[in-house]
A and B are shown apart, each in its own frame.
Chain A
């Protein structure tokens, strides 16, 4: 370690700390403040938990929260797909690099682009329904975004389509750093492909799978605004209403930032609870590095 004057580290940290206070520190503190005030414009009287009570009574919020919970179904699906594909790529199937380039590409495409392209594909007379009709699966064709029963599932499919690439490269990179001896030993012992996947690979990847699951859960609860805003704006009716859109609408459409801040506080607290397991993972890895 560099032996510096005792103030030097603080000097180097100062710009970043000031920036973080500006973008995270102050806003996080004031979102709690706003959530307990009846804000008109930029300030208002203290009203305790009134905003939270309002939110908990609002059926639109119930729907929004339920939809975010429903989106969590995507997490195990994404994890399974990403794991399977990462393992296949790791086995150096011929052309694996090309496959990886293709499979990661959606993650580079912007969410509005993805949303608008899928909006057209999923139209009632869009290419998906036409394909289904032309191969004799007419009964599967549906109003993917226009029907209240289907819309959220369609949005979920699009989210999976774009986000799964991150899981693939993440798992594949982690596989590279694994000890191959265990795999070889399992092979010699006659373990089949699936057995090796479940009893060797997945346990070895535990930490990074946990990381991916936590990050994906946070994404599904609080980081899918772009998809919904571009594809459905919460509709039809409230069929794809989600908490982020609820915040956005209350803050910037209905000008009720107090109510919106209460939901923001709820999302913040959920995120905090969810990242606790990540710290366990990180502290373990730090110990590993220092020893």
Chain B
């Protein structure tokens, strides 16, 4: 509170602080600004002036992008993949976290937690070759079920970690009073714990969706078919195809970014809480 009073008076440190933050914001916003203005420029307009607002404004780039890139297909593929993987991971993680956080001590509990924490930071590239061979053997390569299973598995360590921490923070008295009322172990989970955990689960869903949505390597290897391409794989190919037509390329990138950017602007706190949850003590 004292701080706030101080800041009503102008002084040099405050000016420097703003200067530093403005500089950082400018650095962050400049590429976004570039993408935005360029997407609405004609090819000639772009080569004449790269800095100004588009004049004339054209929507042709979006038209070309949508006609030559299969954005709707890539988008729906990514949605199917993200929804499937996140749903599956959340379900299994809720059950596991309940056991780890709220059931009496059992053999292997600590080991399971330790392994789980370690798995959070194992880079997927380490697993990608055996994964490819395994899915090929199971005839699941280039299929949604195969990719959904893999993505669900890759995000599950984080899901378990986050939910275990959250479930531990639910007071035992609430659970005990439900038990006295005759609730079973499973009823406690569904009727008491899940409603309380709703914000945590939303956060988890947001972060995991972002992860699956933005992943390139796994999708590149496991879904290597035209009709199954995800948005990330699709725009990577799109970008190299239109690398000499910058306005079209930027229109494509803008289209690809809009869904997540809109989600971010409306649900910012879920993104931030979730991404921080892995590191800050729960």
Q: Which A residues contact B (CB, under 8 angstroms)?
A: 1-4, 6, 8-10, 12-13, 15-17, 19-20, 22-24, 26-28, 30-31, 34, 42, 81, 84-85, 88-89, 91-94, 99-121, 126-127, 130-131, 161, 165-166, 169-170, 173-174, 177, 184, 193, 208, 211-212, 214-215, 218, 222-223, 225-226, 229-230, 244, 247-248, 251-252, 257, 260-261, 264-265, 267-268, 271-272, 274-275, 278-279, 282, 285, 288-289
Contact = CB atoms under 8 A, between A and B. Distances in A.
Contact of B24 (A10, A103, A113, A115): A103
Contacts of A111: 214, 216, 232
Nearest to B247: A120
Majority DSSP secondary structure for residues of B touching A: helix
A258 to B, nearest CB: 9
B50 interface: yes
Nearest to A173: B276
Interface string B259-282: 011001100100110011001110
Given A8-B185, A92-B3, A121-B34, A27 B131 contact: yes
Contact of A20 (B31, B125, B156, B235): B156
Majority DSSP secondary structure for residues of A touching B: helix
Contacts of A119: 239, 243
A104 B272 contact: yes
A105 B27 CA distance: 12
B132 interface: yes
A16 to B, nearest CB: 4
A45 to B, nearest CB: 16
Interface of B: 2-4, 7, 13-14, 17-18, 20-21, 24-25, 27-29, 31-32, 34-35, 38, 50-51, 88-89, 91-93, 95-96, 98-100, 102-106, 109, 112, 114-119, 121-123, 125-134, 136-137, 149-150, 152-154, 156-157, 160, 168, 172, 175, 179, 185, 188, 210, 213-214, 216-217, 220-221, 231-232, 235-236, 239, 243, 246, 249-250, 253, 256-257, 260-261, 264-265, 268, 271-272, 275-276, 279-281
Contacts of A229: 216-217, 220, 236
Given A101-B268, A170-B275, A222-B125, 6 more contacts: A8-B103, A23-B154, A31-B126, A42-B137, A230-B239, A264-B128
A177 to B, nearest CB: 7
B95 A13 contact: yes
A239 B32 CA distance: 27
Given A218-B121, A218-B123, A102 B272 contact: no
